């Protein structure tokens, strides 16, 4: 899951460098999509490892609700940044926020199913 977040953060560099290049934008969407898919696929296993299986449904519901709120709020906010500042600034904001999430993920303690 940590690798998924690192790749997700790095994918914004592809978008930043893409400019008007359609193939580069396609590459960005593929890399970002695979990394985001890794987060979605691995979230239940990581949550179970960190918090155990008791109440896992509520934990996953909270996790996915938080992701949904980010998906609802993020695009209009970044769109406003693009309108007010620049396209590149919007990408950098997205990259910084994703990088911050990556840093938090690396600070989480080892899960229950890992050797300590």
Does residue 116 lie within any of the structural domains?
A: no
pLDDT of residue 115: 44
Does residue 113 fall inside a structural domain? no
Percent with pLDDT over 70 in the chain:
94
Q: Is-contact 112 49, C-beta < 8 A?
A: yes
Could you tell me how many residues make up the chain?
116
Task: Pull the structure tokens for residue 17.
Answer: 């460098």
Compute the average pLDDT of residues 71-91.
Answer: 94
Cβ atoms of residues 1 and 80 within 8 Å: no
Is the model's pLDDT at 43 over the cut of 70?
yes
Nearest to 1 by CA among 115, 108, 112: 108
pTM: 0.79
- Which of 108, 74, 104, 113 has its CA nearest to residue 5? 104
Which residues form the domain of 30? 2-107
User: Does a structural domain hold residue 16?
Assistant: yes
User: How many domains, in total, are found in the chain?
Assistant: 1
pLDDT in tens, 56-71: 999 999 989 998 999 9
Q: What span, in angstroms and rounded, lies between the C-alpha atoms of 41 and 37?
A: 6
- Model pLDDT for residues 4-33, shown as the tens digit of each residue: 999 999 999 999 999 899 999 999 999 999
Residue 34 binned pLDDT confidence (cut-offs 50, 70, 90)? very high
115: left (phi over 0), alpha (psi -120 to 50) or beta: beta
Whether residue 29 lies inside any domain: the answer is yes
**Domain for residue 25, yes or no?**
yes
């Amino acid at each position: 899951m940590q690798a998924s977040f690192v790749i997700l953060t790095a994918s914004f560099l592809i978008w930043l460098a893409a400019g008007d290049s359609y193939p580069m934008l396609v590459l960005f969407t593929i890399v970002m999509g695979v990394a985001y898919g890794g987060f979605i696929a691995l979230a239940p296993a990581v949550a179970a490892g960190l918090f155990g299986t008791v109440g896992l449904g509520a934990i996953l519901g909270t996790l996915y609700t938080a992701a949904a709120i980010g998906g609802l709020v993020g695009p209009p906010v970044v769109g406003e940044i693009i309108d007010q500042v620049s396209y590149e600034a919007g990408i950098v904001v997205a990259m910084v926020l994703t990088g911050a999430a990556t840093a938090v993920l690396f600070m989480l303690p080892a899960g229950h199913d890992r050797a300590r």
